[in-house]
Amino acid sequence: MRVYNFSAGPSALPEEVLKRAQDEMVEYPGAGMSVMEMSHRSKEYEAIINDAERLVRELMNVPDNYKVLFLQGGASSQFAMIPMNLCKNGKADYVITGQWAKKAASEAEKYLKVNRVASSADKTFSYIPKLDKSAFDPEADYFHITYNNTIYGTHYTELPDTGNVPLVADISSCVLAEKIDVSKFGLLYAGAQKNLGPAGVTLVIVRDDLIREDLPESVPTMFKYKIHADNGSMYNTPPTYAIYILKLVLEWVKEKGGVEELQKINEKKAAALYDYLDNSEMFKGTVVPEDRSLMNIPFVTGNDELDAEFVKKSKAAGLMNLKGHRTVGGMRASIYNAMTVEGVNALIDFMKKFESENK
């Protein structure tokens, strides 16, 4: 029996997608072979990767002056690729809203001067700091945010107005979960293993004018956006199977009515859980109400032993991976697109039961 999987990533995938992949595993229709066995230069595979790109463009309403790239190396590789490719004036603004934002800034610091515009480290990243425009550098090569913070469960409700400075965002844990206006960004990136598909493929959406040719000799060829953009993500063999699963997920999103419909469901799921947390006498959310994530919901009882007991018992009840990140403690429910309303309701029911049994 399939469990409810609240993992922060890699995380649950739609069961329909897995069943389709299962059906097509040994023989992709009409090909006589698995997608894993296809030459990436074959007509069959080109149709798959082209469909994936087309669906990203359609579902995210990507303007024509942006490239859609499927890369390897995760968001962690983007932490270096972004400064290496976008560095011109030699400086960039970063907002520090959690561990990933910190890592992104530290890596960027190897290549340019990082201006840490604001941070919420003082309160374990439990809020999104108010941004003071006077701290923004108008000469910065870009302005980096982590749109949704997977570990801490925070989320921007308002985008910083960076003027002519390109806004760059890590959207790993909110891509396809809510409407994102691509035209407001210079570059967006997302590791696939939350809302998009399996680990091993990274989506990058980058505006044409930021794809430069004149990069320092020291930049590895595989770290140049230009190389991947010029070769349709096929400069070398792409992670073909991961892109195929991504395509199936995108088809599933479209079938469900697109991002707009999923956002409604996600808002309903999150509201149900937050509502329970706000009314519970045992559990409470760790994030200020105005910055709460739709996708990652950390909560605590305030008692470490009780937290541990909850995690143990929830696991036995088929509610998996609810243990919180070590820097926050307690619990965290990641409720990405593939988490059903039923799954969230099962969690709430279990929490109610646990609360009444452990008063």
Exactly one of 170, 224, 252, 269 is catalytic; name it.
170
CB of 332 to its own copies, least distance (A): 12
Q: Which residue's entry shows tokens 């930021």?
A: 210
241 binds its own copies (CB under 8 A): yes
Local structure of residue 336 (DSSP, 8 states): -
39 binds its own copies (CB under 8 A): yes
- Site mask for its own copies (CB under 8 A), range 182-221, x = bound: ---------x-x---xxxxx---------------xx-xx
Strands 91-96 and 143-146: parallel
To the query of whether residue 194 is one of the catalytic residues in this protein, the response is yes
**Cα separation of 195 and 338, whole Å?**
7
**Cα separation of 332 and 328, whole Å?**
9
Q: How far is CA 76 from CA 100, 136, 150, 273, in A?
A: 9, 24, 14, 31
CB of 149 to its own copies, least distance (A): 16
5 binds its own copies (CB under 8 A): yes
Closer residue to its own copies (CB): 43 or 359: 43
Selected range binding its own copies among 1-9, 178-186, 270-278, 345-353, rule: CB under 8 A: 1-9
CB of 26 to its own copies, least distance (A): 5
Closer residue to its own copies (CB): 213 or 217: 217
CB of 132 to its own copies, least distance (A): 30
- Site mask for its own copies (CB under 8 A), range 122-161, x = bound: ----------------------------------------
Strands 167-170 and 187-191: parallel
Sheet holding 167-170, edge to edge: 66-71, 202-207, 187-191, 167-170, 143-146, 91-96, 113-119
The CA-CA-CA angle for residues 249, 253, 259, to 5°, reads: 135
Closer residue to its own copies (CB): 12 or 205: 12
| Rounded CA Rg of the chain | 21
CB of 57 to its own copies, least distance (A): 23
**Cα separation of 317 and 206, whole Å?**
43
CB 319, CB 353: distance < 8 Å: no
Look up residue 240 and give its two tokens. Answer: 């073909």
For binding to its own copies (CB under 8 A), which residues are involved?
Answer: 1-3, 5, 7-13, 15, 18-19, 21-22, 25-27, 31-34, 36-40, 42, 72-77, 79-81, 84, 107, 110-111, 191, 193, 197-201, 217-218, 220-223, 235-242, 245, 318, 320-321
